[in-house]
Amino acid sequence: MIIKQLSLSNRLLLAVSLVLTAFLGVSAFSLNNAFQSSADTAHQKRLKNYVYTILSVAEFSEDGAVIMPEELAEPEFSTPNSGLYAQITSGRDIVWQSKSTLGLFIALPDHPSPSKEYFSTITLNTGIKLLNLAYGIVWENSQGQQFGYTLNISEDLNAIEQQKIGFQRSLWTWLGGTGLILLIVQAFILRWSLRPLHDAAIDLHAIESGDRKRLSKDYPKELNQLTQNINTLLDHEQSRRERYKNSLADLAHSLKTPLAVFRGELESSSDIIELRRTGHEQLDRIDALVNYQLQRASTEGQSSLLAPVSLGEIIHKLLLSLDKVYQSKQIKHQFEIGHDVYIHADEGDLYELLGNLLENAYKYCKNKVHIFVQPHTNTVEIHIEDDGNGIPEHAQDDIIKRGKRVDTQVDGHGLGLAIVSDIVSAYRGEIRLEKSRLGGANIIIELPKH
Amino acid sequence: MRILLIEDEIHLREQITQQLKKQNLTVDAVADGEEGLYLGLEQPYDVAIIDLGLPKLSGIEVIQQLRKAGKDFPVLILTARGRWQDKVEGLESGADDYLVKPFHFEELSARINALARRASGWANSTLTCGPIALNPTNQEVTNNAVIIDLTAYEYRLLHYLMLHAGEVLSKTELTEHIYEQDHDRDSNVIEVFIKRLRTKLDPDKTLNPIETLRGRGYRLALARDH
């Protein structure tokens, strides 16, 4: 639940911090390990070097005594308490020890066999910790008598520990510092990259409160598709709202004429038959107006958000229906469509558009209706032809004068075509009238595919 | 000719019923889809008028179920929504024609007669068999252009006989198609009506328009004029 409520930037920040911490922690751990083991190795190597240094200067007399020079090359052997000590023992006796051991009693228990080395850690009574290398030596005098010795080199571990602690401290300081800086930089980067989302939210809020009509255009590429779609939706809504408003206003206004006519007739006429006739006439007109405006208001209109619909399927279904209704007319329809054509439009609008056109063709033909669908690159051309008498002049005007209010003269033909013309213009299409080869009308509709 | 009307709007239902009865048609009117479906499945009808927006069971469902049960009488749908998508849906479900509300009663009557004619193989609006012609639009029956005066039930009976001219129709079938569902029926009355029709249509007893097939029923024996 809490995870779900986290904002995007907090999620990113949390994830990045966790990853960064883990990464830095693992780095520190492995660096520290590597340093420790290399320090230990170096230490042991140094002790061995001391062994060779001492052996190179040690001399043995015939009776097995050890003769060492006064000063050794390594000054630390001569400085008391320097932390570096050397001792040669034979059996349990100390044969020689470096000056640095002054005041220290080192009992060294290990006596490895000749040429063997043995590392150990020794803790002295004083609490000092030493790393000790015991090395077995055998001296053979000219009579072939053998003397066994152990050479011990010890170095105070404290210095090494100090070094390790120093390394760890600087390691943590550096890594921690870097981590902190990275986190701060990350936070800034996140804020900066998520800023467009924040801006979009503010933009949307402005639309909600009515301060703006659409989202601004300058969004990063990734958001642009979304904001453009929102804008399309907003425009679509806007135009639909306007269409509703216009239809409502048009309807109200256009109803007033037949109402006025009927009221006038009621007040002035005394002829009941005449009154009835007028009443029927005006009721028909009101009905036609309601149908027309209802249709106009419910037209969806063009929008790129609409899913593609199959023209072939819609026309096929309409033809099946009309064949049924006009069965007695024995109409022969011919429908030509290549592979199926899809256009982005509202299915209801297409049913309305094609239904009205096809019904007119069925109604006014003698017995032939031809439908021909021709897809172009960006548009689709639909031809609907019949072998009737063609469209009367006054109805032709309904096609040409777009958006005209049908409150003057309405009949079946005119109303259907007015609806057709409205839908075509809502989709920014074209409508043309030609003479058909069959003898009647050829209505050509060109609609954009998107 | 017997008609099933399913319409939930009470005023419209009563108006249509009255007007259809005025035209000497037999009408069973119900207000909801379930009752309509029950009647449609149980009773023999010549045409059904079904509103699409019905309570309990929608018009589309009623039509689908009637068709599924093998009922093939023509169906006219009434709809307040004139959208083509709705009309196509209605016709796809098995209806034969549609009418958008509000409509002129003449239009409804013309469509019903056309559907009934189509279903029984007539092409013209006036049914003509030899010298006898019946016009369902004004319910006028003529014999060699002379108007014959018939009572309501005589007209109903002749209308049904002429719609099915050439077919043998049992007394039960004739009874079912001229009486409403809740009417007291007596198939013996048919014999009386037939006798009167013969007298009125063929006063000189030269034409013999209606044959009696013993044990099977009656048949209008005059050839159809198309």
Distance CA A348, CA A31 (A): 70
| Mean pLDDT over each residue of chain A, to the nearest integer | 83
The confidence score (pLDDT) of residue A400 equals 54
Strand B140-143 with B146-148, pairing = antiparallel
3-state per-residue secondary structure call for chain A:
CHHHHCCHHHHHHHHHHHHHHHHHHHHHHHHHHHHHHHHHHHHHHHHHHHHHHHHHHCEECCCCCEECCCCCCCHHHCCCCCCEEEEEEECCEEEEECHHHCCCCCCCCCCCCECCEEEEEEECCCCCEEEEEEEEEEEECCCCCEEEEEEEEEEEHHHHHHHHHHHHHHHHHHHHHHHHHHHHHHHHHHHHHHHHHHHHHHHHHHHHCCCCCCCCCCCCHHHHHHHHHHHHHHHHHHHHHHHHHHHHHHHHHHHHHHHHHHHHHHHHCCCHHHHHHHHHHHHHHHHHHHHHHHHHHHCCCCCCCCCEEEHHHHHHHHHHHHHHHCHHHCCEEEEEECCCCEEECCHHHHHHHHHHHHHHHHHHCCCEEEEEEEECCCEEEEEEEECCCCCCHHHHHHHHCCCCCCCCCCCHHHHHHHHHHHHHHHCCCEEEEEECCCCCEEEEEEEECC
Report whether A152 contacts A104 (CB < 8 A): no
Q: Does A320 touch chain B (CB under 8 A)?
A: yes
Percent of chain A's residues with pLDDT above 90 = 14
Mutate to test the interface with B, among A282, A324, A359 (most CBs of B within 10 A): A324
Q: Which of A283, A325, A351 sits opposite B85 (nearest CB)?
A: A351
Q: Does B87 touch chain A (CB under 8 A)?
A: yes
Chain B: closest CA distance from residue A223 (Å)? 37
Q: Does residue A169 have a pLDDT over 60?
A: yes
Percent of chain B's residues with pLDDT above 70 = 100
Check residues B123 and A398 and name the one with the higher pLDDT. Answer: B123
Q: Does B118 touch chain A (CB under 8 A)?
A: yes
Give the end of a domain, one of A143, A163, A183.
Answer: A163
Chain A: closest CA distance from residue B174 (Å)? 27
Mean pLDDT for A237-246 is 83
Among the residue ranges A119-123, A445-449, B13-17, the one predicted with the least confidence is A119-123
The confidence score (pLDDT) of residue A397 equals 64
Mutate to test the interface with A, among B60, B67, B77, B84 (most CBs of A within 10 A): B84
Tell me the residue range of the domain where A257 lies.
221-298
Joined together, the tokens standing for residue A402 give 């777009």
pLDDT tens digits for range A359-399: 989 988 898 999 999 999 889 999 999 998 877 766 666 55
Chain A: closest CA distance from residue B94 (Å)? 10
pLDDT tens digits for range B58-80: 999 999 999 999 999 999 999 88
Question: Do both A341 and A406 map to the same domain?
Answer: yes
Q: For residue B91, which residues of chain A lie inside 8 Å, CB to CB?
A: 320-321, 324-325
Give the end of a domain, one of A280, A298, A316.
Answer: A298
Collapsing DSSP to helix, strand or coil, B154 comes out as helix
- Decide if A188 is inside a domain: no
Q: Does A327 touch chain B (CB under 8 A)?
A: yes
- Decide if A56 is inside a domain: yes
The confidence score (pLDDT) of residue A105 equals 60
Beta bridge partner(s), residue B133: B128, B142
- Decide if A45 is inside a domain: yes
Q: Does A318 touch chain B (CB under 8 A)?
A: yes
Mean pLDDT for A223-249 is 84
Question: Do both A423 and A371 map to the same domain?
Answer: yes
Q: Which residue of B has its CA nearest to A329?
A: B123
Domain count, chain A: 3
Question: Do both A251 and A351 map to the same domain?
Answer: no
- Decide if A143 is inside a domain: yes
Report whether A69 contacts A86 (CB < 8 A): no
Q: Which of B82, B88, B118 sits opposite A328 (nearest CB)?
A: B118
Chain B: closest CA distance from residue A212 (Å)? 36
Q: Which residue of A has its CA nearest to B80?
A: A291
pLDDT tens digits for range A57-76: 888 888 878 888 877 878 88
- Decide if A207 is inside a domain: no
Mean pLDDT for A94-123 is 77
Question: Do both A159 and A19 map to the same domain?
Answer: yes
pLDDT tens digits for range B143-173: 998 999 999 999 999 999 999 999 999 998 9
CATH of the domain at A385: 3.30.565.10
Angle at A39 between CA A33 and CA A40, to 5 degrees: 90
Which chain B residues in 56-85 lie under 8 Å from chain A, judged by CB atoms? 82-85
This prediction's pTM? 0.67
Q: Does residue A297 have a pLDDT over 60?
A: yes
Mean pLDDT for B68-94 is 91
Which chain A residues in 146-205 lie under 8 Å from chain B, judged by CB atoms? none
CATH of the domain at A131: 3.30.450
Q: Which of B84, B92, B123 sits opposite A351 (nearest CB)?
A: B84
Question: Do both A269 and A395 map to the same domain?
Answer: no
Looking at mean pLDDT, say which of A270-274, B43-47, B80-84, B103-107 comes out highest. Answer: B43-47
Distance CA A148, CA B43 (A): 130
Residue among B74, B31, B28 at smallest CA distance from B55:
B31
What letter represents residue B92's amino acid?
A: E
Question: Do both A292 and A336 map to the same domain?
Answer: no
Check residues A112 and B126 and name the one with the higher pLDDT. Answer: B126
Residue A406 confidence class, pLDDT cut points 50, 70, 90: very low
The confidence score (pLDDT) of residue A403 equals 45
Strand B224-225 with B2-6, pairing = unpaired
Joined together, the tokens standing for residue A270 give 């005394």
Give the end of a domain, one of A124, A147, A163.
Answer: A163
- Decide if A212 is inside a domain: no
Question: Do both A292 and A373 map to the same domain?
Answer: no
Chain B: closest CA distance from residue A317 (Å)? 7
Chain A: closest CA distance from residue B127 (Å)? 15
pLDDT tens digits for range A267-294: 887 888 888 888 888 888 888 888 888 8
Question: Do both A359 and A260 map to the same domain?
Answer: no
Give the list of residues 6+ apart from residue A139 with CB closer than 8 angstroms, or none.
A60, A64, A146, A147, A149
pLDDT tens digits for range A298-324: 887 777 677 889 999 999 999 999 999
Q: Does A98 touch chain B (CB under 8 A)?
A: no
Using CA atoms, how far residue A285 sits from A257, A288, A395, B190, in Å, is 10, 5, 16, 47
- Decide if A37 is inside a domain: yes
Question: Do both A374 and A422 map to the same domain?
Answer: yes
Question: Do both A20 and A53 map to the same domain?
Answer: yes
Distance CA B135, CA A324 (A): 24
Question: Do both A59 and A83 map to the same domain?
Answer: yes
Mutate to test the interface with B, among A294, A309, A317, A326 (most CBs of B within 10 A): A317
Residue A320 and residue B118: Cβ atoms within 8 Å?
no
Give the list of residues 6+ apart from residue B27 with CB closer than 8 angstroms, or none.
B2, B3, B5, B16, B17, B20, B21, B180
Question: Do both A20 and A87 map to the same domain?
Answer: yes
